[in-house]
Chain A
């Protein structure tokens, strides 16, 4: 169905960095020279999971004449913000820096991405908020970037990819979660793979179709990792947002972890209550893609998860998840729509409530703007 009223909060859309040349003004002299010397100063650094030619990477009628989908602010304004009366939107830049093996290069690129995001998107469009892109290859470098960006209240989340070096609940990543909790930032885990590991327990499949479908299983295993490792007990302020994950698999996860917990709780004694309750307290899911055939099934799945606070509105712009203006599924009550479109996002992102202007932010950051 179409958007019933203005003021929604879009929790997942994707501005694109066109290529590394666009980041040059935000890189220091060493990295500018280094990238040029290696002839990778005009490389795209695009994630294979979102290669621009793939159908899921851009809706057909949103495909730009030239350039990467999502790289043009005017198009994003008209197609994603104005079109749905969006009040605020969380920008998630999906970038290949996180797939590099060189953590220093990744960190330099992430810093440049966040600087460019603040300057070229957030400064120009007051409805936009953003996730901090961090190098997951090195938690210390990731924390440094979080600390650098945190004073800018327009950053509301830390962004990670669902398939990386190891399951994201692992202690390797805890410094990131500690920093996020300290600053009131959510942890946003987005679909996509760095292809460190095959997406199945039996190796590499043949088709893009399979890669796409299997993202959902990676989210399940990631959520079980957060539960088993005790992240929510160690950092009780954590809000985990799974983005582009789908959520019709969630009933299975709640039921299976509740049951298996009874058998394995001596192994993970920090899990002090049924995992389903922990998930309902700490974990949220963006709306798109919605893997349901009809409204009846959606109602049943919503009943199975026993909460109306789990779903956050998203367009996933410019990814192809819906047609025309039908950005919402049919059959949701007005009360439920209000939760999904406004209340749940506000409850998930403490920083969204505060109005942060670009000027205030610049003053807070006292940061030298690039030439």
Chain B
């Protein structure tokens, strides 16, 4: 039975202990990683720095809107960027909102878009150490994502195996969706094989560094408004690639979490793929089922930035199509477009549906307990 979830009920519902599928910890400076880097790479950072394919050395080519894309109130009083201070994160988000589990997504300095492969590997390894020592060890609510440079699949597979064996706090594998080739291409399959072998989710989150390709097939946009929109459309490119290449026929246990990518596009994409596939299926004989079935079976989605239909009730159509078991709450703390767990889901639903989105779907996907 549908009944409205009022503001007070939402607050109450947080007491069920929600899972936040998108939290961004950040290094105060690159030096936070030095304890986990060999001397060679510490010197490399200071003498050369990253080799990234973009025009600006120390900032993103599409400048973010407010406060460099951060919550202005999330800058720690003692300096450093938002997300670098665990105590502030606890006070502003984890404790305040009653977050039971937070999935950490480490975006920068993980070496994912680094063209120097050995440097990328060293950075990823360091960020994985840093997540455990500087975060998980200090707050058990936080879970880590194994950051790997997707362009170096041999290293990535070894790192995934090692981290999965080392600490159960690693619940997923994070690669950059701004890969050099679409993520379904075979060069990346050792990563999926390792993720599947270790029963880990593949987490995809939009990246700020374009890594040499415009974010759209139409070319480089002008405004951040355009770049922001491609957080959906450029991720669709990878979904289409993963499905079309037959990744899920080869690794039937692989599950993908689409983080900060939207979800209302998924039904339309499935219908379109099915229609095109029906007349082109001889090109991809490795696909045994209509593409929408792989989409339905292998992909999960996160809420933030929450889709807001002009008529709020229309969200029920979308959830009916993608499945109420496929949407997971995310806040994107400490970024500027943070969604508050108490107010983000502004539509009517049952308590069971609310619990599914806020907690149960993520608990099942990531095997949290």
Question: Per a CB cutoff under 8 Å, which of B66, B181, B268 touches A202?
Answer: B181
Contact string, A199-240, partner B, CB cutoff 8 A, digits 1/0? 111111111111011101110111011011100000000000
Interface centre among B185, B233, B262 (most CB of A within 10 A): B233
Tell yes or no: B238 within 8 A of A by CB: yes
Give 4 new A-B contacts, CB below 8 A, not counting A207-B245, A209-B277, A213-B272: A198-B213, A205-B241, A210-B182, A300-B314
Query: A246 near B272 (CB under 8 angstroms)?
Result: yes
Indicate if B91 sits at the interface (CB-CB under 8 A): no
* Residue contact B308 to A170, C-beta cutoff 8 Å: no
B53 CB to nearest A CB, Å: 12
Interchain residue pairs A-B with the least CB separation, the first 10 = A200-B237, A201-B234, A199-B217, A221-B216, A248-B268, A166-B219, A217-B233, A291-B272, A201-B215, A264-B225
A261 in complex: contacting residue of B179, B210, B225, B235, CB < 8 Å: B225
Whole-angstrom distance between the alpha carbons of A216 and B216 in the complex? 11
The answer to whether A203 touches B179 (Cβ under 8 A) is: yes
Question: Measured between C-beta atoms, what is the minimum distance from A216 to chain B in Å?
Answer: 6
B4 within 8 A of A: no
What is the CB-to-nearest-CB distance from A215 to chain B, in angstroms, rounded to a whole number?
8
Q: How big is the A interface, by class?
A: 35 or more
Min C-beta distance of A339 to chain B, whole Å? 20
A196, B272: Cα distance in complex, Å:
24
Which listed segment binds B: A31-39, A69-77, A104-112, A249-257? A249-257
Specify which chain A residues have a CB less than 8 angstroms from the CB of B49 in the assembled complex: none
By the criterion CB–CB under 8 Å, are B180 and A203 in contact?
Answer: yes
Q: Are B232 and A205 in contact (CB under 8 A)?
A: no
Number of A-B residue pairs, CB cutoff 8 Å, is: 248
Tell me the bound Cα distance from A55 to B276 in angstroms. Answer: 9
A252-B265, A291-B275 are known contacts. Are A214 and B309 too (CB-CB below 8 A)? no
Binding site for A on B (CB under 8 A): 65-66, 177-185, 210-211, 213-226, 228-230, 232-238, 240-241, 244-245, 262, 264-265, 267-269, 271-277, 279-280, 283-284, 305, 307-311, 314, 317, 336-337
Of A267, A297, A303, the contact of B314 (CB 8 Å cutoff): A303
Q: Is B225 in contact with A213, judged by CB distance below 8 angstroms?
A: no
14 A-B interface contacts by CB (under 8 A): A56-B279, A166-B219, A198-B217, A200-B236, A201-B214, A205-B182, A205-B184, A213-B244, A216-B272, A221-B218, A263-B66, A267-B65, A300-B317, A306-B310
Given known A-B contacts A55-B280, A248-B272, A276-B310, A268 and B225 have beta carbons under 8 A apart = yes
